[in-house]
Amino acid sequence: LDLGCAGIWISMDDTGGGSDPVRLAEYAAEYMRKKGLKGHDVLFTPGLREYQNIDLPLNRRMAQIETFNEATWIFTRVPCAADAKLAREIGLKKKVAWWFNYCETKYPDPKAGFMHSSAILTTQRKNGLPSYMNLLPITPGWGYPEFEKIRDAAQHVDHVNLWAMCGGWPSEYAITMFGHWAWNPENCDWPHLRDSIYSFVWGPGQVELIRKFDETYAELKTLYILPRNWSFRTPDNGLVRLKSPENRARALELLTQLDEMAAELAEKGPTETALDAERLEYQYIEPMRTSLRFARIQAELDYPEYEFANFEQTAAALAMEKGEEAANAYLARVHETVSPQLAKLSEALQELKDIEPVLDIWRARLAAGKTVAERKAAELEKRKAEWEKLTHLHVKEIFPFQDAPVEGNFAALFDTLSKPNIQDALQVIPADSWKTEVSQTTGPYRVGKFRREGIAMPTLAAVMVPRHTKTKSGDAGWIEQTVDLGAFSDAGGPLQAELFLTDTRIDHKYRNVRKIEILVNGKVVWSRDLADPNAKDWCVFPVERASETDSSCRIQVRVTELQNVSDHTSWLFVGPLRIAKTGSVSAN
């Protein structure tokens, strides 16, 4: 302040307010009184949760601090009467401010481009130059505001802040759009505002042309798979490409039109623009031409995803339906086609960053083998090494929802392993008899044999989902075995089995995410939610021969995903199987 600043900005923001944010607010209030600061002299951004929701306990506590409640508080919520009323109710004495995040990453994001990411428009060009971004209204940001629905915004907020102006944002487009709206939200006329921005940047004589260019450019982008989220990098993104090769003709047709318009804009724009000619060239003309050049390259190139996106599954299906010879012939064609494609992509896209990591994924997929046998062997070795690491995970990785888990938490899962309910078992089949193979999983699920050093437990079978993996509905992992029931007569009633099952989701949260099922000869005979708080470690279910002439009984334990989940690890441990006559369960 002594240097001439008009006020201060207190920002807890995403990092929060430390161990005692209330004390920090009290200190700020003391400072405000000491310096005579009030109202708009002080801006305050609450922490991550609090700036998105007004009615939270911490906001209520800080809003009771006198003087501090006279500062201008900043929230990311779209201005509305209900929030303005709520702000007054918690104790704030001034209108709040709106922090508008112009970086929404919902897909498809109209801000994504041929050479820049979604959200904050990070350029993908190695030379650091920007990509072209067509002019957009206010809508594609947090809360999806619409001009029509926020005409009364000035009644509820009196300050606005636009966030996300980094990367390759064309500020004359974005800031001018937001600034003109904020100047007069009640009477904002988007078509008129849009054309006035075009006139400012390109000159009055180019308004119709640049409007047509942007409309055509927006149509062109709908034909492509564009980056999602903040980055264009793997694993969230592959390479920019057409959604289908069938879009190629239309894309090239539009690109021809756009090239002609861009040439005219480059010729006439510099003579009419209100900008410095160098600024127009740097932020608009050069990025426009280069974006079109790469859009054409991306339209003309052949990508492996067009024909071979799931070649591993196709080869496996061919092996089952027509034999390994047919599958190997298909794999040979994959290698003959994809390897040259990768070389062409590497050469054509060398001006862009993070291309090689995407291509490396394809190279690794090809390197797994040229025949079914080679690929099976490579996958088996990969899974073995992966499983070995999983069985030695730190206990925190097994119970990530606990603050400080110890090995004792893990050992407690097996407390009842030696306490079955069936007393007179006809046969006890050890847990290492369960079949656990790579083919018994889909998605990120993993199965295998498990034993933990330092814990009194036999080898068990396990079905698990690792941390930091994304699953989708229908993904599953299962173990199975076939039991011969021929030695047991029908005298004394039907047969049943008892099985030890325990899982690591002892928090019992997040129901309807994952289910456990037991199948006998292909039929579900028992099931429960993985997060069932009333689950018992030993479960009993009926078993029977496959048919009158087949005494085998196929038993399968399966864990299945019920919805799409971004990160939800779990382990299910499966123990010995005990065969008995119905009615053999103890009173315990």
The predicted structure's pLDDT at residue 438 = 81
The candidate with the shortest Cα–Cα distance to 169, out of 122, 228, 126, 113, is 122
Task: Look up the CATH number of the domain holding residue 574.
Answer: 2.60.120.260
Task: Look up the CATH number of the domain holding residue 36.
Answer: 3.30.750
Q: Is residue 386 in some structural domain?
A: no
Domain span including residue 361: 304-373
- What is the pTM for the complete model shown? 0.78
In what helix (H) or strand (E) does residue 498 lie, and over which residues does it extend? strand 495-503
Q: Is residue 573 in some structural domain?
A: yes
How big is the chain by its Cα radius of gyration, in Å? 32
Predicted confidence (pLDDT) per residue in 119-141, tens digit: 888 899 999 999 999 999 999 99
Q: Is residue 391 in some structural domain?
A: no
Sign of the C-alpha dihedral computed for residues 215, 217, 219 and 225 taken in this order = negative
Q: Is residue 183 in some structural domain?
A: yes
Cα–Cα distance for residue pair 221/108, rounded to 1 Å: 10
Q: Where are the beta strands (DSSP E) in 48-129?
A: 72-75, 96-101
Cα–Cα distance for residue pair 277/274, rounded to 1 Å: 9
The candidate with the shortest Cα–Cα distance to 58, out of 19, 97, 7, is 19
The predicted structure's pLDDT at residue 516 = 97
Q: Residues 223, 269: one domain?
A: yes
List of the chain residues with pLDDT < 50:
587-588
Q: Residues 292, 316: one domain?
A: no
Q: Residues 213, 257: one domain?
A: yes
Q: Is residue 1 in some structural domain?
A: no
Predicted confidence (pLDDT) per residue in 524-572, tens digit: 999 999 999 999 999 999 999 999 899 999 999 999 999 999 899 999 9
List Cα–Cα distances, 410 to 386, 432, 453, 536, in angstroms.
21, 20, 11, 17
The predicted structure's pLDDT at residue 295 = 98
Q: Residues 59, 12: one domain?
A: yes
Q: Residues 422, 564: one domain?
A: yes
Q: Residues 336, 277: one domain?
A: no
At which of 101, 132, 163 does a domain end? Answer: 101
The predicted structure's pLDDT at residue 489 = 78
At which of 43, 69, 101 does a domain end? Answer: 101
The candidate with the shortest Cα–Cα distance to 487, out of 552, 582, 433, is 552
The predicted structure's pLDDT at residue 588 = 43
Q: Residues 239, 318: one domain?
A: no
Task: Give the relative orientation of helices 324-348 and 356-367 as an angle to the nearest 10 degrees.
Answer: 160
Q: Residues 355, 222: one domain?
A: no
The count of structural domains within the chain is: 4
Q: What is the DSSP letter of 109?
A: P
Q: Residues 293, 363: one domain?
A: no
Q: Is residue 544 in some structural domain?
A: yes
Q: Is residue 255 in some structural domain?
A: yes
Q: Residues 62, 49: one domain?
A: yes
Q: Residues 441, 547: one domain?
A: yes
Token pair for 487 = 């030695």
Cα–Cα distance for residue pair 465/469, rounded to 1 Å: 8
Cα–Cα distance for residue pair 65/549, rounded to 1 Å: 82
The predicted structure's pLDDT at residue 223 = 98
Q: Is residue 392 in some structural domain?
A: no
Q: Residues 548, 413: one domain?
A: yes
